[in-house]
Amino acid sequence: MNARTQAHVEGMRSAGRAVRAAFEEMVSACEPGITTAALDRVGAAVLAEHGARSAPQLYYDFPGATCISVNEEAAHGIPGEREIREGDMVNIDVSANLNGFVADMGQSFVVGHASAEQARLCAAVREAVEKAIKKVRSGRPLNVIGATVQQVADREGYVIVQNLGSHGVGRSIHEEPSYVPFDNPSERRVLERGMVLTIEPFFSTGPEWVHEEDDGWTLSVPEGQMVAQFEHTLIVTDAGAVVVTQ
């Protein structure tokens, strides 16, 4: 999407607020003993209150309103009867369509007490996104995002997952530009004014690839490894990035 008018910007902001509200309610409800299905119902209710529709359901017929991934699950986890436990690393990814505008956000966090490594991993991927956002400006190379994310991953000793990418968004859940946020010298595309996109790297403690589980949706790293994601939706402007999901 190209958000060049104020109406486009306000539409994206409204979608972003709905997504953020659902995410925050889900985080508040995410306590030991709750099932991922019950957690998903919390998010679905908030989206409905805002008049928004779940993007995964709308565009892909996903079997849940939101994606909830636990521990070795990196993305697209299906809500179900799995109970959240103390010390689990949970990723909640919420995307929704509100009045024709789609926003997308996600974050990994630990329920209860986090180990030192869990905390460091979650902090690193968040830092990478926040630093990359500050580099965004129309006319700059798209790879300024990947290069910034790569610097943080390398400094902290983490691997950027290569088969989970960032993407354009705005009118649909997945649009161009589709890209993996790592330092890619062959990436020649340029950030354009009005471009709406996500920044969502996945950092792992070793694996470079995720694999699809038998359910046809969930993407995971091998058991015993850790993976974390952080994601915002933003609009590119001449002065920087307008983040609509914070």
CA–CA dist 58, 79 (Å, integer): 16
At residue 166, the pLDDT reads 98
Mean pLDDT of 116-144: 98
- pTM here is 0.97
Per-residue pLDDT tens digits for 211-246: 999 999 999 999 999 999 999 999 999 999 999 999
Contact 125, 172 (CB under 8 A): no
Mean pLDDT of 47-52: 98
CATH T-level fold of 6-243 = Creatine Amidinohydrolase (3.90.230)
Task: Please say if the pLDDT value at position 4 is more than 90.
Answer: no
Q: Is 120 helix (H, G, I), strand (E, B) or coil?
A: helix
Q: How far does Cα 61 stand from its chain's mean position?
A: 19
% of the chain exceeding 90 in pLDDT: 100
CA distances from 226 to 73, 166, 203, 207 (A): 9, 20, 8, 9
Mean pLDDT of 133-143: 98
Beta strands in 77-140 (DSSP E): 89-98, 101-110
Per-residue pLDDT tens digits for 153-209: 999 999 999 999 999 999 999 999 999 999 999 999 999 999 999 999 999 999 999
Tokens read off for 125: 């991927």
Mean pLDDT computed over every residue of the chain: 98
CA distances from 75 to 35, 99, 187, 200, 229 (A): 17, 26, 25, 11, 9
Report the sign of the C-alpha dihedral through residues 50, 53, 54, 55, in that order: negative
CA–CA dist 170, 236 (Å, integer): 12
CA–CA dist 66, 56 (Å, integer): 7
% of the chain exceeding 70 in pLDDT: 100
CA–CA dist 206, 224 (Å, integer): 10
Task: Please say if the pLDDT value at position 80 is more than 90.
Answer: yes
At residue 139, the pLDDT reads 98
At residue 158, the pLDDT reads 98
Please report the DSSP string for 164-197 in residue order.
Answer: S-EEE-SSSSSEEEEE--S--TT---B--TTBEE
